[in-house]
Amino acid sequence: MIPTPIHPKLDPANPFVGHQSRNQIRESFVRWILRIGTLIIVSVTAAIILHIAAKGAPVALSREWPFVNVAFLTELPSTLHVIQDHQGHIIETDVNGADAIKMQLGANLREEKTISYSGGGILGPIVGTAMLVIVSVGVALLLGVASAIYLSEYASHGKFIEMVRLAILNLAGVPSVVFGLFGLGAFVLTAPVFTNTPLDRAIFTIPLGFTTLSFQGWDTCVLSGGFTLAFVILPVIITASEQCLQAVPLEFRETSMALGATRWQTIWRAVLPFATPGILTSSILGIARAAGETAPIMFTAALAFKDKLPWQKDLVALPADASWFAHWEQSIQRFLAIFTESVQALPYHIYTLAARIPQNEYSERAQYGSVFVFLILVASLAATSIWMRRRLRAKYKW
Amino acid sequence: MSDNPTANHDAHFIQVEKFNYAYGDHQVLFDVDLDLHREDITALIGPSGCGKSTLLRSINRINDLVEIARVVSGSIKIDGVNLYSPEVDVISLRRNVGMVFQKYNPFPRSIFENAVYGLRVAGIKDKWELEEAAERSLRIAALWDEVKDRLHTNATSLSGGQQQRLCIARAVALKPRILLMDEPCAALDPIATARIEDLIAQLRGQFTFVIVTHNMEQAKRIADKTAFIYKGKVIECADTMEIFGNPKNKLTESYITGRLT
């Protein structure tokens, strides 16, 4: 007997022809909802990037060799002077050039505008962000990997460890401005320094004979900002590192221990090498995060404006016959100044340009140029992380 | 542990006495008594989850890594020394008791580095000594001729059977007296399995083997003694021929004839 077709009007010879069932309609409906959601995200991302590229690329790049705006990348920020004459010529210059041009124009000067922070380049913020990232990622990797190893390899499973994990996860949810205030209190105002002349504001001092350990804080500097940022990215690094350690097969540990290795030897030789690709990747994501944060460095490291690079600290000029030791001491001081001076940073510079000064075409130009460079930096970090992970994965696959 | 060469070969070399073992509150071994003789090949057979792997992993105390695992009572002695007494150094115990796992698992490093891993963690740095040990152990594992020209290529490029033989080489590099094998052929094809079995047969007398296997034909082929374990208890332990030819216990008989699940 031929079974009765579900839709009698359709070709009875082919039982598989039919209208879409309700399930099929629902299926394609869900698929389209999900597809549209994804498309919205992709198009918003594309719009952001295109917008920034369209406005920022003309500032940061140039049409002629070497195809980048060298001055924009190698000069420190300065106040931009825009001078207009009665014929409508517009001259952009810095504070030094302004006087000469005004003198030359004489009565022809129509108006002079000054726009803060929008002249020169952004070398200061780039260097500052790089220093902050180096310090914060260094500190966060040391602390983060250590605690991830402890949590993953040593700690026994129990209530306490669960609480610790929960606390770390919660740390990830703390608003970054809170970290900024924490950094202000902990590192800027309280952290210990060795000094012969403790400040009055020191919370307490420990005399050590040859010097004094004074809890007077590190001041606003790269070190304070770097440590604060380290705590911002610690949860990311701990969680990711722990996952990478857990991903190393248990058999490696068992084999290693069965061959007479201690627990630390096992971790060092049979676990960490294979977890490193993932840990590095996560740390690079941490770099992108640290580079992008504004709030934690506002009170701890960043200045809106600084006309010196960290190592261009004012030092007493040495006499011509100074000993090599004095020179050596000064270069050490210069090197340390990298960590003990406050800096400009890209996100804070962008914030200053976009929100703290009157807006006009010149400030907008500087702002988009900075954002574009920032975006390129972060994108290249992400690309590096992917490349590194691929290389290490190929080397250590199991 | 004493390294007394005059020890009697027929003495009870590995002695398991009234051994009770548990994971947390879940006891998995009940009053296990076993006497394993020096230089014998002993097979542990039994259905999945019967506790034979746990017993094997208690002999080199690798099960200590399982956090909730604990000895309830009883002892395991090697040459009369209780492995679970506090003065035993687990590290030197494990150097004397090699282990090969079910899934071949060389580290994703070079063949050479795998072979000398145990020596490296033992602190041996002398290049010549390491090279000599690598060659010796790879020869023991019948792998030398296949890999001698590519010692520094990644071990994961080897075939499954070669990888498992590399794991055996890695285990014998420390010159252990006992080799524990936890289903060494479970992940291998029949040809690779046959090569491993040949290898074990060749090594008879050099090591004291304890082998967990699900493959009763394998037990028949290579083992001198076979112990049948069921639900955490040793049901029967005797010469392999005895167990398979004339089992004393009904349970043993139904297991080896495939009627026990």
pLDDT in tens, A153-184: 888 878 888 899 899 888 888 998 999 999 99
Tell me the mean pLDDT in the region A76-90.
83
Taking contacts as CB-CB distances below 8 angstroms, the residues of chain A near B67 are 156-157
| C-alpha to C-alpha distance for A343 and A213, rounded to whole angstroms | 25
The per-residue pLDDT for A147 is: 93
Mean pLDDT estimate for chain B: 89
3-state DSSP assignment of residue A192: coil
Shortest distance, CA A228 to any CA of chain B (angstroms): 36
Report the mean per-residue pLDDT for chain A. 85
pLDDT bin (cut points 50, 70, 90) of residue B182 is: very high
pLDDT > 70 in chain A, percent:
96
Task: Give A-chain residues touching B133 at CB under 8 angstroms.
Answer: none
Distance CA A152, CA A156 (A): 9
- Return the number of other C-beta atoms located less than 10 Å from residue A194's C-beta: 11
Does B89 contact chain A (CB < 8 Å)?
no
CB contact under 8 A, A252 and B107: yes
Does position A121 have pLDDT exceeding 90, yes or no?
A: no
Residues of A with CB below 8 A from B60's CB? 258
The residue ranking higher by pLDDT, A319 or A185, is: A185
Higher pLDDT: B151 or A122? It is B151
Q: How far is B11 from chain A (nearest CA, A)?
A: 26
Query: Which is more confident, A301 or B88?
Result: B88
Q: Report chain A residues touching chain B, CB-CB < 8 A.
A: 156-157, 249, 251-262, 265, 269-270, 274, 395-398
Q: What is the mean pLDDT of residues A79-95?
A: 82
Q: Lowest mean pLDDT of A84-88, A129-133, B66-70, B166-170, name the range.
A: A84-88
A58-67, A271-280, A303-312, B123-132: which has the highest mean pLDDT? B123-132
B59, B107, B114: best to mutate for the A interface, most A CBs within 10 A = B107
In contact, B206 and B176? CB cutoff 8 Å: no
Which of A157, A254, A398 minimises the CB distance to B67?
A: A157
Burial class (CB in 10 A: 0-12, 13-18, 19+), B10: exposed
Answer whether B23's CB lies under 8 Å from B225's CB: no
- The pLDDT value given to residue B3: 46
- Sheet containing strand A193-195, edge to edge, reads A193-195, A212-214, A205-207
Within 8 A of A395 by CB-CB distance, chain B residues are 108
Contact A121, A73 (CB under 8 A): yes
Is 80 exceeded by the pLDDT of residue A308? no
More confident residue, B179 or A366: B179
CB contact under 8 A, A156 and B167: no
Sign of CA dihedral A158, A159, A160, A164: positive
CA-to-CA distance for B178 and B76, rounded, in angstroms? 14
pLDDT tens digits, B197-223: 999 999 998 999 999 998 889 999 999
What confidence score (pLDDT) does residue A34 get?
Answer: 97
What number of C-beta contacts closer than 8 Å exist between A and B? 66
- Nearest Cα of chain A lies from the Cα of B106 at a distance, in angstroms, of 8
Mean pLDDT of B168-178: 92
What pLDDT digit, counting tens, does each position of B135-169 carry?
999 999 999 999 999 999 999 899 999 999 999 99
Ordered DSSP codes for A293-310: --HHHHTTTB-S--SS-T
Mean pLDDT on A265-279: 91
Among B94, B103, B120, whose Cβ lies nearest the Cβ of A251? B103
CATH number of the A124-306+342-395 domain = 1.10.3720.10
User: What pTM was estimated for this model as a whole?
Assistant: 0.81
> What are B13-60's pLDDT values in tens digits?
899 999 999 999 999 999 999 998 888 899 999 998 899 999 999 999
> Given pLDDT bands bounded at 50, 70 and 90, which one contains residue A43?
very high
Question: Cβ-count burial of B114 within 10 angstroms (0-12 exposed, 13-18 middle, 19+ buried)?
Answer: buried
Strands (E), chain B: 12-23, 26-37, 41-45, 69-78, 81-82, 97-100, 178-182, 208-212, 225-230, 233-239
B171 in reach of chain A (CB within 8 A): yes
pLDDT of B70 over the 80 cut: yes
pLDDT of residue A86: 83
How far is the first Cα of chain A from the last one, in angstroms, to the nearest whole number? 58
Q: For A213, phi and psi rounded to 5 degrees? A: -90, 110
pLDDT at A3: 58
Summarize the confidence of residues A92-110 as an average pLDDT: 79
Question: Taking CB atoms and an 8 Å limit, are A258 and B62 in contact across chains?
Answer: yes
Average pLDDT for residues A12-32, to the nearest whole number?
A: 82
Answer yes or no: is pLDDT of A14 > 90: no
CB contact under 8 A, B118 and A249: no
For residue B70, the chain A residues in CB contact (below 8 A) are: none
- Contacts with B170 from chain A: Cβ below 8 Å: 255, 259
Give B47-64 as a 3 state SS string.
Answer: CCCCCHHHHHHHHCCHHH
User: Which of B89, B117, B119 is the best mutation test for A, with the most CBs of A within 10 A?
Assistant: B117
| ipTM for the predicted complex | 0.89
Asked if B108 and A255 come within 8 Å (Cβ–Cβ), the reply is no
| Start-to-end Cα distance in chain B | 40
pLDDT on residue B4: 47
Q: Is A23 exposed, middle or buried (0-12, 13-18, 19+ CB in 10 A)?
A: exposed
Would you state the pLDDT for residue A318?
75
| Partners of residue B174 in chain A, C-beta under 8 Å | 259-260
pLDDT band at A4 (very low <50, low <70, confident <90, very high): low
Residue A5 has pLDDT above 80, yes or no: no
B12-107+177-256: in CATH 3.40.640.10: no
Handedness of CA A346, A351, A356, A360 (dihedral sign): positive
Q: Evaluate if residue B5 carries a pLDDT over 50.
A: no
